[in-house]
Amino acid sequence: MRFFLYLCTLKWNIRQQAIMTTSFGYVRVAAAVPHMRVADCQYNASEIKKQITEAVQEGVQVVCFPELSITGYTCADLFFTQQLQKDALSALEDVCTFTRDLPIIVLVGAPLKVDNNLYNCAFVMTDGEVVGVVPKINLPNTGEFYEKRWFSSGRDVLENNVNSIRPRIPTIELWGNDVPFGIDLLFTTKDYSFGIELCEDLWSPLPASTQLAIQGAEIIFNLSSSNCVTGKHAFRQRMITQQSARVHCGYVYTSSGIGESTTDIVFSGSTYIAENGEMLEIGERFQMESSMIISEIDVERLRIDRQRNTNFTHDKHGQFRHVQVAPLELGLEDGATRLQDAALLDNGRPMGYGEGPLHRHFTQTPFLPKKKDSDEYCEDVLNLQVHGLLRRWQHTHAESLVIGISGGLDSTLALIVSVLAADRLGYNRSQVIGVTMPGFGTSDRTYSNAIAMMEELGISIHEIPIRDMATQHLNDIGHDLNNHDITYENAQARIRTLVLMDLANKYNGIVVGTGDMSELALGWATYCGDQMSMYGVNAGVPKTLVRYLVRYAAENIFGERLREILMDVIDTPVSPELLPTDDEGNIAQITEDKVGPYELHDFFLYYFLRYGFTREKIAFMASMAFDGVYSEEVIEHWLSVFMRRFFTQQFKRSCLPDGPKVVGVSLSPRGDWRMPSDVAVN
């Protein structure tokens, strides 16, 4: 199958795409907490309408309000009163009517009496209509909760329908319209699908969201009234994050806040937006006024993970009803007129459905840990590298490790891992053989750092200059020594590999490869040169993480003298040092001048390898992440370089030596990435 790769310059402005979220699979969602009064339904409806207006102005596609937000959660036995039930329906109708001609889907909580049973429900409305009603399934009835005193479980509706002699699709009549009602509703738009669970449904052993996601819901909205006690905020956050990861979904959660009765419990107005194990937004709790958080769910990313997880639909069962939702896509001028007529828009214009700049942020370094997790993350990576290498060392019964030390980042990390492996096995560090091989381009700085590192670490040191060998070889093949072309460069790289392999034979050792994952992605390695080793300890580590790990080792593992050397290595420009130095002995060949900034390439690599995003989407995301750092033209240029090199250099990756996977993705031809070496590049 041909893989169509678009290398032409993008014909549209990336920045303009920032206002078209659905172009790249983003769905803008909001979790809202209105200021409310217990049992004052009209007041609560008016506050909800204000927040709907705010959401429309922000281009929100779906806004979710808390459980029983029309009445308040703490009405207790007032739920039995006809007046409150009547007021709730009237306020619901008011909110529903307000959504007419507005480009938004609104989820509101309220009680509803059906067949003389009272249900705690979520109402889905858009463009002046209720398109579905979902009753709560699991009713808490312990401790401070007494929901079974007032409400019936939505599960009863489904069971009654299944056991009925004459099965029927349950619907309810609302204001003259038949509306789907039940816990088996899946809401689908032309761009995404979503499901609903209410508060306790998430806390149950089998959350409703699990089956909803298996049935196809990409986003789960949770209308909640979970109260606040010490430690609950952190626990709830972990639970939401884990559930979003478990079922590959976006998860939008909102809970009751200011205005609820504090007779026995307190509500904090907790709001969260998570996606596939990552918390995108967390709202500030205990707000005195209405509050709202907004972000975008990337449904393309979710679909890719579900596609890769072939077990995802194995537990699919039951017959869920699909409710088609067609939210109004209103023009800006029409929207402004509509809201101004309602006296709710003073200045400016509302955004169209899904328009406006993204609220979510993209880190420039997706392979790096969050600061709070930094130490544990670095320890994990180093442990994976060390244990991979020591296992290979033990299995081969080798007496030594042989490693080329250039004084650059990659060989420095490989040396650190080798020394740690020797320490872990209880071997003498002299069994690690470091080899420095000065060539035509070796600078005084890197040479000095290489020697100093090896001395400080107490390993065996070999210095084998390759200038004479390279000169003889180039003369033998009739190559002009003044022609500093690819032959001139690669001859040195292959000679270095020859030296290392022969030393490994001499000392019964294995050659430790130093090349990193970013170089493998770009093919920035000499075939049968530094591309080859007996174990590629850095093969699963991208360049940005190599630098990060060396810094971690400098600050946390070694003493002051070695720390100084390692910090200088970090500050040294990345270079293969295959071209002659300048007149002052400094590095003349800078890798990033040739192939581009590694921070950009690692960004491209992560989203291409992990999610398979299109070139246009990766460019868009990079323009957001590196806004003010690189221009759109620069991003487009280096993305083209990345794509071209990635697809033309697969033959080097197809015969890679073994190496550990450490960051969740790898380029191993036996593992994560399998691709023909001659795949078409268009």
What is the helix (H) or strand (E) element at residue 488, kind and residue range? helix 486-506
d(C-alpha 3, C-alpha 154), whole Å:
48
Tell me which amino acid residue 450 is: A
d(C-alpha 587, C-alpha 442), whole Å:
7
Structure-block tokens of residue 309:
């997880």
What is the helix (H) or strand (E) element at residue 52, kind and residue range? helix 41-57
Dihedral (CA of 163, 164, 165, 168) sign: negative
Per annotation, catalytic residue among 64, 75, 121, 199: 199
The closest alpha carbon to 549, from 379, 327, 356, 424, belongs to 379
For residue 417, the tally of other CB atoms under 10 A from its CB is: 30
Tell me which amino acid residue 130 is: V
**58 in catalytic set:** no
d(C-alpha 340, C-alpha 334), whole Å:
10
Contact 105, 128 (CB under 8 A): no
d(C-alpha 172, C-alpha 124), whole Å:
13
Per annotation, catalytic residue among 49, 136, 543, 652: 136
**11 in catalytic set:** no
- The separation between CA 548 and the C-alpha centre of its own chain, rounded to angstroms, equals 19
Per annotation, catalytic residue among 67, 197, 489, 519: 67
Tell me which amino acid residue 504 is: A
Contact 389, 417 (CB under 8 A): yes
Bridge partners of 511, per DSSP, are 402
Contact 160, 184 (CB under 8 A): no
d(C-alpha 155, C-alpha 200), whole Å:
13
Give 360's contacts (C-beta < 8 A, 6+ positions apart).
26, 280, 281, 295, 296
**86 in catalytic set:** no
Active-site annotation, residues: 67, 136, 199
